[in-house]
Structure 1
Amino acid sequence: MRYMLKYSIACLLFLLVLSSCRKEPNYDPVPEIEFRRVEQYLFEENNVKRDSLVLVIGFKDGDGNLGLSRDTASTDWQAPFNPGSAYHDNFVTTMYVKNPATSNFEPYPFPIPGFQFSGRFQRLSADDRPETLEGEIKYSINEITSDLFMLGPGAVIKFDVYIYDRNRPVPNKSNVVTTDEIILFQPM
């Protein structure tokens, strides 16, 4: 009995030590993303319908250099991430609208030249230390309005999405994912 108690405590300690030694995953330093879901919120104000969308993508990154600072004094606002650069926005979207006549999706011709729903998402780690990261990015697209975008209730859209990391001098581009179809201005 004494030996059984002695060895069972030793086995228990050994199992605890083994379970605490978790090996870090080994991901590629080029970010990999997957589409998770779209969260949709409908509002109506002064007879104008407004949709707010949250695009949720999962990510894996081997060196943890995702996101850009919102502090304009940081290096995240210098080349290649400066305004006007192709890498200024690190969450890049292309919006498509379904043509009801053909049922094909076509790139949406924004009524305001240069307007798009791409933007910057915040840094996901506090420092520049390389580390593997995985999780979700929630990216908000606010105020899609029926009057400005000339899309009525029942219009169907979707997005292609990709992200950039902070790699210098040329950021790494993730794979491209496509969202599910989104029916605008419909109560959920």
Structure 2
Amino acid sequence: MNYTLKYGLACLVLVLALASCRKEPNYPDEPEISFKRIEQVSHDDEGLQIDSIFLVINFKDGDGNLGLSTDRQSSDYFPPFNVGSTYENNFKVKLLQRVEDPNNPGQFIFREYQFPVEGFDLSGRFPRISTDDREEPLEGEIRFGMEFTEEFFRPGEVIKFEVFIYDRETPVPNKSNVIVSDPVTLFTE
């Protein structure tokens, strides 16, 4: 008994000492992102090919105010995050399509894709990362999904994405750096 108490107490003191040495990371309050990977899942829906594309990015944020609620009754829909504002969506996506370079036949470049529907945008909201409003450094990954169909894209079409995110800072949210994903070929399975 005395042996267990003696060494048990020593182990507890050691664990507490090691835990107190851990320093919180020191990230800036503006979010920082990096490209991690693209996940692609192809499936057929009554003869229509569909590609579900998941864009996975890493993030770091010094004050932990990332993500917006999707509940329209939430304060996350008050200005500046209200419907129709620049900051309504916190995950901003620009679709880039591979096209032949008009100045160099046989060479390819990526250009912003022009959607056939005026005002259509792939951007959206990702949910709050932290469940409370405590300021703390956060890091992790965000997985953002989109669907593409043969109605608008040909099999073999090569695309990539330009992305940035906003945090919940008010009155003006902080913008992250802009990243570009690796290219992905649609409807290859």
Q: Which residue of 2 aligns with 1:163?
A: 165
- How many Å separate the matches in 1 of 2:156 and 2:59? 31
The one-letter code sitting in structure 2 at the alignment partner of 1:146 is E
Tell me the distance in 2 between the aligned counterparts of 1:87 and 1:45.
34
Of 100-109 and 89-98, the range deviating more from structure 2: 100-109
**Aligned-partner Cα distance in 2 for 1:42–1:9:** 55
> What CA deviation, in whole Å up to 9, does each residue of 1:125-160 have, x standing for no partner?
111111111000011112x1011x1x2111100000
Number of residue pairs matched by the alignment: 178
Q: Offset at 1:46?
A: 2.6
**What is the letter of the counterpart of residue 99 of structure 1?**
V
- Pair 1:87 & 2:91 matched: no
Kindly state the Cα deviation for residue 17 of structure 1 after the two structures are TM-superposed.
3.3
- Paired position in structure 1 for 2:141: 136
CA distance in 1, matches of 2:186, 2:144: 17
Unaligned runs of 5+ in 1: 1-5
Residue 96 of structure 1 corresponds to 96
Superposition TM-score, scaled by structure 2 size = 0.88
Q: Distance in 2 between matches of 1:10 and 1:41?
A: 53
Aligned pairs (5 A) from 1:23-38: 23-38=23-38
CA distance in 2, matches of 1:60, 1:40: 25
Alignment partners' CA distance in 2, 1:10 and 1:112 = 68
Alignment partner of 1:182 out of 175, 178, 184:
184
Report 1:110-129 matches (<5 A). 110-129=115-134
Answering whether residue 110 of structure 2 is matched by residue 105 of structure 1, we say yes
What are the Cα deviations for residues 8-53 of structure 1, in whole angstroms up to 9, with x where unaligned? 9998666433321211111101000010001100011232111001
Q: 5 Å matches for 1:47-86? A: 47-86=47-86
In structure 2, the gaps of 5 or more residues are 1-5, 101-105
Give the corresponding residue for 2:103: none
Work out the CA distance in 2 between the residues paired with 1:12 and 1:65. 36
